[in-house]
A = this chain, B = another copy of it.
Amino acid sequence: MDKPEKILATALRLFVTYGFHGTPTSKIASEAGVSNGTLFHYFKTKDDLVVALYTSIRGELNQFLVRQINTASTSKEKFRRLFVGSVEWALHNGDAFYFIQQFRFSPHLNLVSEEESRRQSEVHMELLQEARNANWLKPLPVDLIATLTASQISGIHQYLVEKTVSPDEQRKLIDDVFELTWATVANPELP
């Protein structure tokens, strides 16, 4: 694990515990095992570090989701992999998922370029656009469907971390909520 990666990993852990401004760069550096100067050698400012962490995490998530989707063929199955995959990734990467939410409701969000934002939602949007064009989805704005689906994902995830649920029960609940979500957005006219 090279130093920039180590810095990012340490920053993630501290940010979710103490918040952005609650964690001094000096603490990130020392806990990452590098000096103060090294941190600023790789990240010009603290804000730079925060944004870099966000795009790095989103990149990993997207990579994971693409791999999930590619194992399916039909639209519904792809959609299921996207949904279930997201929840499971969130469960296995609690800190990272929490950080994403934290970041999205912070002023730092404005520091992400339009281009980067688009790239991050590309996977979802392409899949949905495709399904919509093939008439698999209800005649609703695709953006709305995307937002509602994302909401359901963070909803079921939030429930699963608050309650303690056995792994079997977890899988079943995730699948149930997926079917509910699918029924919500899918066109009932077609199979």
Contacts and interface: CB of A to CB of B under 8 A. Distances in A.
Interface of A: 17-22, 98, 101-102, 105-107, 140-141, 143-144, 147-148, 150-152, 154-156, 158-159, 162-163, 173, 176-177, 180-181, 183-184
Q: Do most interface residues of chain A lie in helix, strand or loop, or is the interface mixed?
A: helix
A56 to B, nearest CB: 19
Nearest to A180: B184
B19 A106 contact: yes
Contacts of A159: 141, 143-144, 147-148
A158 to B, nearest CB: 6
Contacts of A147: 155-156, 158-159, 162
A107 to B, nearest CB: 5
Given A21-B22, A143-B159, A150-B155, 4 more contacts: A19-B106, A143-B162, A148-B155, A148-B159
30 contacts: A19-B20, A19-B21, A19-B106, A20-B21, A21-B21, A102-B105, A102-B106, A105-B105, A141-B159, A143-B159, A143-B162, A143-B163, A144-B156, A144-B159, A144-B173, A144-B177, A147-B155, A147-B156, A148-B152, A148-B156, A148-B180, A150-B155, A151-B151, A151-B154, A151-B158, A152-B155, A181-B184, A183-B183, A183-B184, A184-B184
A19 B103 CA distance: 11
A20 B22 CA distance: 10
A22, A101, A147, A177 — most chain B CB neighbours (10 Å): A147
Instruction: Give the interface centre of A98, A141, A159 by most chain B CB atoms within 10 Å.
Output: A159
